[in-house]
Structure 1
Amino acid sequence: MLNLRFALRQLLRSPGFTLVTVVSLALGIGANTAIFSLVNGMLLKKLPVPEPEQLVLFNWAASEGVGPRSHSGYSEPIPATGERTSTSFSLATFEHFRAPSESLRDVFAFAPLWQLNASWQGQAENLRSAVTVSGNYHQALGVRIPLGRGLRPSDDTADAPLVAVISHRYWQKRFGGSPQVLNEILTLNGVPFSIVGVTAPGFNGTGQVGEVNDVYVPFSAYRLIEPGNTEATEPWAWSIRIMGRMADGVTREQVNAEMAGRFAASYDGHLNLEEGEHIRLRTASGNTGLNEDRRRYSSSLRILAAIVGLVLLVACANVANLLLARGAARERELAVRIALGASRARLLAQLLTESLLLSVCGAALGLLISLWARDAFLALQPFGGSDFTLNLALDWRVLGFTAGIAVLTGVLFGTLPALRATRRDVVQGFQGGHKTLGAPRSRLAQTLMVLQIALSLVLLVGAGLFSRTLANLARSDLAFERDHLLLFALDAMPAGYERNELDAAYGRVRDRLTSLPGVESVAFSSVPLLSGRRWTSSRAIEGHADLPEDERTIVMNGVSPEFLDTVQWPLLLGRNFTVADSTDAPRVIIVNQAFADRYFPGESVIGRRLGTSDDNLDTEIVGVVTDGKTTNLREIRRPAAFVPHAQLPNARAGHFVLRYQGALAPLQRALTAAVQEIEPTLPIIALRTQNEQINRLLREERIFALLTSSFGLLALLLAAVGLYGLLAYSVVRRTGEIGLRMALGALPSGVRWLILRDCLRLAVLGVLVGAGAAAMLTRLVTSQLYGLSPLDPAVYVSSSLVLLAVALAAALIPVRRATRVDPMVALRAE
């Protein structure tokens, strides 16, 4: 306590030093705490249910090319084994798993309902956060239901009343938190459901990180909500996720061993494995729910954590230099304390107490900065956009991390300066310390300065690489004209349309919108352009019967006849689609240049045929378009094709694209009114321009460019402050030397060069060390870059020049102070 009181008095006596030190640490600690809050919320937080560690999530791994006939959900490669994995299973598998088990107390399942037309009291909306679940879902998880009740197994039967449970978020947003919500009728795709419960706040379901399941309905209701989708219940259609709760004392390996046989029995007869092919059941921890997005985001979060870690190291090096200078200024004080009997250990304890007090104050301020930075970060919608919901409230992990990093930084930046300060010569200390004439230079301070400059260059290079990646992606050649395109989607099936009526319904909407002022042309497709969504299909290709299935996979899209003209996608050969390419007409297809080059190099592709099998080549190639990007901006050149929307047997949503001129806002209002005239219960989905859609694809790249640039500038500022402080202290220490030089006839230019030489020596050495470190570290982010190498010379040269310029700017004031030294005053002081 005595050390703490004395440390506080010492710091208050030097408010300038204390302020600079605390702010430097606060920026570094605040940035690290904000990123850790994100890591905690996205990767570490468990489901808010009892004993989440007992939950298991089933998935399967199969050799390449092995899988169900129909698959909905994530499918990822396993690089280590060459397999693919997925968490999607068939309803038949769930029925096998839910039979009595020795290793599992409960087995439950769920599947997302991608979008519904939801209506309450005549107000319709597009709902993309509903989920269909087994009747024991809430019971098996142990979900708290503060209002009403959860779903029960008895609700999941064909003749049970139709009921739904809603989330706390949806209750507040749609029903205003009214306690009379129970028994209210919520209509989903025209089917009425009675609301029987509201989940507790904080429970968002078992979906991907950032998703919220707002409405839960039992599996038995799916046939009513999606009457046209008869495939979902077929044994060969895998679309549901299965989880279980383990019995006490059981391991995941035991669960896997018991369920593997049931899994094999569930697909027997529906999945034919050739020799050398396999599919195997796996179990993973289910304590966070589905985890595909967590794995996908984890690499980005690790990079961000490394970046803010470098910022903290720069801040610590800066503070350590400040403490070295302060320790030198306290030589006489320390000498007096040693002469009065204070031991070196006692002085070390006192100096480390001061360092820890600084770090605690920095952590407290950093915690406030992290709260602002966290909210600002989420406002940028870096991962999932406006639908992405993440609770980043402070919890014991975040507070523990901040406390731990405060202690670590206090020890990190305080130990070496404290050891240095307590190693002073007592006699020399009583004489006022080292004389400025011929004063030795601090190698430790210079080493720390080189480290600061090197780390700053690493951050500047990272900022340059990510900024150029963003620019390269934004300038990508798309093949079509992105400006003046307006996008939106309609899903007419929930409004009561049959599949064979969809093309005509979307045609009526297209015709109505074409008459709006400012609209030049209107088209629609089955897959929206540059939405991240992809439809691939393996097709038999004339003359290539020997190719394996995975080498005949093509990126597909079903489009209306006006599509290519509307988006201005160039047609190289052949003809475009026409209204004559209808359901009953001969099947036709338009391919891209990559398709022609791969399968028919140097030959005419027009008239060639494709089909569902080598014996059924029923589709004729009638045109060739330029290669372009349809799914995302990082898409590589690969075979792709367009087919007439009217000839798609399973078409559903219509993704419209309008080419327009003039003001956008009046057009959006007129468009909404026109659609409502045709079908009042049909909500418009995702109304945005093509450029807005592209910007959504660039969220992650934009946040990386923004954060690395911000952290790079912060590190640059800290380095400039540190270099200024080191040079200013050097000028003070060398006042006698400078005075003697000037008394002997040295010109001011020579004195200036004396100080600038020290500055350039440190800066150049720091740049060389930093360039080597950046060359090694940036290789780790190669997969995040686009259109440039991690060793891009332009980035390294520009970053080095910026750093050298800032270093010279930091030296201007110390240089000016050195040339104004009065030789007589300096020599008299010696």
Structure 2
Amino acid sequence: MNSLMQDLRFSLRQIRRSPGFMMTAVLTLALGVGANTAIFSLLDQALLRSLPVREPDQLAVLSGTGKAWAGHTSDHGSGPEQSFSYPMYRDLRDKGTAVFDGLIATAPVNVGITRNKVSELLDGEIVSGNYFSVLGVKSAQGRLLTASDDTVPGSNPVVVLSYPYWQTHMGSDTRVVGETISINGTPFEIAGVVAPGFQSAVWGQMPNVFVPVSMLEQVIPGRGKRLQDHTDRWMNIIGRLKPGETPQHAQMAIAPLWHALRAEELKAIGTKPQRFVDEYLTRSQLLVAPGARGLSYSRESLQKPLYAVMGMAFLVLLIAAVNVASLLLVRSAARVREFSLRYALGANARRVVQQLLLEGLLIGIAGGAAGLLIARPCLRLLVQRLSTDELSAFSTTLDGRLLAFNFAVAVAVSVLFSLAPGMQLLRPDIVNSLKQQTTTATGGTLNFRRLIVSLQVGLSVLLLVGSGLFVRTMQNLRHVDTGINTSHLITFHVDPQLSGYAKEKIPALHQQILDTMATLPGVQAVGATTDQELGDMGHTGDATVEGYTAPPDEDFPIEIPYISANFFHAMQEPLLAGRTFTEDDDATHPLVGIVNESFAKHYFTSPAAAVGRRVVGGDGKPGEYMTIVGVTRDAKHANLRDAVVPTLFSPLKQCKFAGQLYLYLRTATPPEQSFATVRQAMKQIDPGLAVDELRTMDEQIDTTLSNERMIELLAISFGLLATMLAGVGLYGVLAFSTAQRTREIGIRIALGSSRLRVSRLVLTDVLRLAGIGIVLAIPCSVLLARLLRSQLFGVSSADPLTLAGVVLLVAVVAVVAAIVPARRASSVDPTTALRAE
């Protein structure tokens, strides 16, 4: 212990004597560790962390296999396999008690909340009455929902508030329990507030309110029949396994019950072909998967991007670690005589290694602390970039596990690489070292440093190639021909149902909104649709075309939106044949439709041949066939990545019921200038009618590209950081080797070598080091980029433009790093150099 304390005090003195070295090593390590901590925090929250509930390892997520679907399915982004009808949930809950201690059902919902005459459209969650008790979640105020709140439909108008909503909207007022608020025009009593920390059983969702399933009709007007409809699949199910039960055993034990319930549902669906029966019943299974992390509508889409970014952050950390090792090696070269003297005075190898490890430990602790200072703002920036309407569940808090991860990485890296100079100093040449004799820079030590620098260059090339591919991807996405003129276009969303409007009054309100928006100053055209444009969502179905015989097993999903008469004019989508809709295309006139070019070519070979043909969405019920009156040019309606989906447009006035509406205003002035005018006009129509997602169309597209923008930002940041670190490493090894070769350079100049040739000698050295790293890294980067093909768009993993740009950038950085050492080498005075030797 005495020797340890002596070495610790000596290490502190050494560090104080070399503040420049300490600051450089700590800052280098902090950059790598801080970036990794911030990225790992996101990855941990999205992919690794368990729900903050009682014994999360006992939770299981249910999904049903079988390729045959019938009726209506709302998967909310999780996939149709995880959607169940409410009757199926109820039967599984009541009859599956042999393996489950409880089953809960949940579904996201948008609700219009009015309090103190202020209306908002907010996210909510409709849940079974046993939701909180099965999860084991406690209340912060009042009580939570219970099974008694989920009995007779429409009889339990109670609501539970999320903790953030209670804080931000009600100022943490404890007196709100028992207060009444309006949800979609129906009074609801506030039963309580959920304890802090819990957001939802669905990761990525942040509902403001929780309402019981029994209030479905009030929360989603017109959908109350879902509580008895076996063919309407819209809820997700999570179960709590009995103690000692495993998901695998539970899946086998529940299989007979699932088969029996599936057979009952098949009766409700009606007669189907044998192939459908085989898929729906014989080949169907109820899968029981571990659910400690809950289910998620967005986890799968985030998994590859987060792993890719984590890989980039790890490469930055590796480059930083190699840089620290290089610094330690350079520093150890200046301490050879010191350690030789210690050996001569009787020190053993253990004390030497202990000394180096202590110094590395101090650097690691300081680097970890500095890394925390960098990690927090980096994490806040990332969360801000990810805070979209669809994904806002990331936290900016670094918990204890992340703090441990931060320091463990910093200490492990510094201690591990402090052993590199230790190997060099275990058996020094004591006699020559004490004589202070120098050597040329051609020994094994310098070769090892050169190898380290080449490794840094190679790693930076890997990151730069990834950065370049992601930048090219974003450029391609931003310049995709959507088929829509997105400039000078405003969009917003209204849902009169969520403001308490009766079903029969909504069509007139829609027309009033359209007429009012058309009269606003600066507005050139107004269009509306029931299906949001470029909102990364879409509602697809099938179609029956009169006179068309589909090939066996044809799967040709189409979009079926309802649009206003001036929709194509507002979006500036040209017609290829026929006419557009008019105000006369209403319920009193024959049904008409407009199809896009892809639809027309698939069914009719050409746009002109489609006009006059008859089609109907779904199975082709008598009296519902519409006549195609026009064909429009293909346009992307869901997102920028996906191919154009065949589309069948119908007039809004011929829709049996259209609740929500997405409006699009073409303006002559900058669109942002019309925001206040739009809000004021909507208040004049009805102050209680909430306006949601008021933004420009360009902002709407940016929202759908939030993940891509995050990856682009991080890739560029990590690529530039890695290049900077590689440049510092190149400079360090060149400066050291040039200093070591002072005598050699002096002799060269004394023998007549020009200073230009001396400078060229240094530049050749740096280009050789960079070239080795580039040659080795380019093939590796192409192979690794293939793993990211799903994240790329319009660019190959071996994009020549990206590879050429990376090689040029690294070459420029290498030359810049060599400028100062080259100037020093060319200015060596041979007389002074030889006299010093």
TM-score relative to the length of structure 1: 0.95
Quote the Cα distance in structure 2 between the aligned partners of 1:724 and 1:227: 69
Matched to 1:690, the amino acid is M
Asked if 2 retains the 8 angstrom alpha-carbon contact of 1:538 and 1:549, the reply is no
Quote how far apart the aligned CAs of 1:665 are: 4.8
Matched to 2:241, the amino acid is M
Matched to 2:74, the amino acid is S
1:248 to 2:248 alignment: no
2:778 aligned partner: 771
Asked if 2 retains the 8 angstrom alpha-carbon contact of 1:105 and 1:247, the reply is yes
Matched to 1:473, the amino acid is L
1:530 aligned partner: 534
Secondary structure in structure 2 of the residue aligned to 1:124: strand
Quote the Cα distance in structure 2 between the aligned partners of 1:187 and 1:287: 34
Q: In structure 2, do the counterparts of structure 1 residues 437 and 26 end up closer, same or farther at CA, with 3 Å as the change threshold?
A: closer
2:33 aligned partner: 29
- Range moving further from structure 2, 482-491 or 671-680: 671-680
Q: In structure 2, do the counterparts of structure 1 residues 723 and 361 end up closer, same or farther at CA, with 3 Å as the change threshold?
A: same
1:446 to 2:444 alignment: no
Secondary structure in structure 2 of the residue aligned to 1:545: coil
1:148 aligned partner: 142
1:283 to 2:284 alignment: no
Q: In structure 2, do the counterparts of structure 1 residues 779 and 607 end up closer, same or farther at CA, with 3 Å as the change threshold?
A: same
Matched to 1:336, the amino acid is L
Q: What do you get for the CA RMSD once the two structures are aligned?
A: 2.0
2:801 aligned partner: 794
1:613 to 2:619 alignment: yes
User: Which string of whole-angstrom CA distances, capped at 9 and with x for unpartnered residues, describes residues 83-107 of structure 1?
Assistant: x752211111122122251222222
1:105 aligned partner: 101
Quote the Cα distance in structure 2 between the aligned partners of 1:140 and 1:755: 70
1:181 aligned partner: 176
- Match of residue 259, structure 2, among 235, 258, 264: 264
1:706 to 2:713 alignment: yes
The aligned runs of 1:478-489 (5 Å cut-off) are: 478-489=482-493
Quote the Cα distance in structure 1 between the aligned partners of 2:366 and 2:336: 25
Quote how far apart the aligned CAs of 1:683 are: 0.6
Quote how far apart the aligned CAs of 1:437 are: 8.3
1:600 to 2:604 alignment: yes
- Match of residue 309, structure 1, among 281, 305, 314: 314
Asked if 1 retains the 8 angstrom alpha-carbon contact of 2:30 and 2:370, the reply is yes
Quote how far apart the aligned CAs of 1:501 are: 4.2
Quote how far apart the aligned CAs of 1:259 are: 2.8
Quote how far apart the aligned CAs of 1:39 are: 1.3
- Match of residue 566, structure 1, among 566, 570, 576: 570
Quote the Cα distance in structure 2 between the aligned partners of 1:684 and 1:254: 49
Q: In structure 2, do the counterparts of structure 1 residues 148 and 436 end up closer, same or farther at CA, with 3 Å as the change threshold?
A: same
Secondary structure in structure 1 of the residue aligned to 2:693: strand
Secondary structure in structure 1 of the residue aligned to 2:493: strand
Quote the Cα distance in structure 1 between the aligned partners of 2:151 and 2:441: 94
2:274 aligned partner: 274
1:86 to 2:90 alignment: no
Asked if 1 retains the 8 angstrom alpha-carbon contact of 2:542 and 2:556, the reply is yes
Quote the Cα distance in structure 1 between the aligned partners of 2:237 and 2:444: 70
The aligned runs of 1:222-241 (5 Å cut-off) are: 222-233=216-227, 234-241=229-236
Q: In structure 2, do the counterparts of structure 1 residues 143 and 580 end up closer, same or farther at CA, with 3 Å as the change threshold?
A: same
The aligned runs of 1:135-534 (5 Å cut-off) are: 135-158=129-152, 160-209=155-204, 211-233=205-227, 234-267=229-262, 268=264, 269-271=267-269, 274-275=274-275, 276-277=278-279, 278-380=283-385, 382=386, 384-385=388-389, 388-436=392-440, 442-499=446-503, 501-534=505-538
Quote the Cα distance in structure 1 between the aligned partners of 2:443 and 2:224: 87
Secondary structure in structure 1 of the residue aligned to 2:483: coil
- Match of residue 20, structure 1, among 3, 19, 24: 24
State the identity as a percent.
37
1:125 aligned partner: 120
Matched to 1:177, the amino acid is S
Quote the Cα distance in structure 2 between the aligned partners of 1:6 and 1:674: 75
1:79 aligned partner: none
Secondary structure in structure 2 of the residue aligned to 1:708: helix
2:669 aligned partner: 662
2:61 aligned partner: 57
Matched to 1:36, the amino acid is F
1:817 aligned partner: 824
- Range moving further from structure 2, 259-268 or 66-75: 259-268
Matched to 2:707, the amino acid is E
Query: Which structure 2 residue ranges, 5 or more long, are not aligned?
Result: none
Quote the Cα distance in structure 2 between the aligned partners of 1:519 and 1:438: 75
Secondary structure in structure 2 of the residue aligned to 1:552: coil
User: Which string of whole-angstrom CA distances, capped at 9 and with x for unpartnered residues, describes residues 34-69 of structure 1?
Assistant: 111111222222222211111122111223xx1241
Quote the Cα distance in structure 1 between the aligned partners of 2:546 and 2:430: 93
Matched to 2:253, the amino acid is E
Asked if 2 retains the 8 angstrom alpha-carbon contact of 1:538 and 1:550, the reply is no
The aligned runs of 1:696-735 (5 Å cut-off) are: 696-735=703-742
1:806 to 2:810 alignment: no
Quote how far apart the aligned CAs of 1:436 are: 4.1
- Range moving further from structure 2, 438-447 or 356-365: 438-447
Quote the Cα distance in structure 2 between the aligned partners of 1:447 and 1:383: 43
Asked if 2 retains the 8 angstrom alpha-carbon contact of 1:360 and 1:406, the reply is yes
Quote how far apart the aligned CAs of 1:548 are: 4.7
Q: In structure 2, do the counterparts of structure 1 residues 386 and 559 end up closer, same or farther at CA, with 3 Å as the change threshold?
A: closer
Asked if 2 retains the 8 angstrom alpha-carbon contact of 1:363 and 1:403, the reply is yes
User: Which string of whole-angstrom CA distances, capped at 9 and with x for unpartnered residues, describes residues 595-652 of structure 1?
Assistant: 2222332572222222233675812222111111111111213422322122233422
Secondary structure in structure 2 of the residue aligned to 1:583: coil
Matched to 2:125, the amino acid is V
Quote how far apart the aligned CAs of 1:469 are: 0.8
User: Which string of whole-angstrom CA distances, capped at 9 and with x for unpartnered residues, describes residues 270-323 of structure 1?
Assistant: 355733423211112222222342222111110010000000111111111111
Asked if 2 retains the 8 angstrom alpha-carbon contact of 1:62 and 1:85, the reply is no
Asked if 2 retains the 8 angstrom alpha-carbon contact of 1:437 and 1:735, the reply is no
Quote the Cα distance in structure 1 between the aligned partners of 2:649 and 2:681: 28
Matched to 1:236, the amino acid is T
Secondary structure in structure 1 of the residue aligned to 2:689: coil
Matched to 1:701, the amino acid is E
Quote the Cα distance in structure 2 between the aligned partners of 1:459 and 1:253: 41
Quote the Cα distance in structure 2 between the aligned partners of 1:227 and 1:717: 58
Quote the Cα distance in structure 2 between the aligned partners of 1:261 and 1:92: 17
Secondary structure in structure 2 of the residue aligned to 1:243: strand
Asked if 2 retains the 8 angstrom alpha-carbon contact of 1:228 and 1:498, the reply is no
Matched to 1:270, the amino acid is A
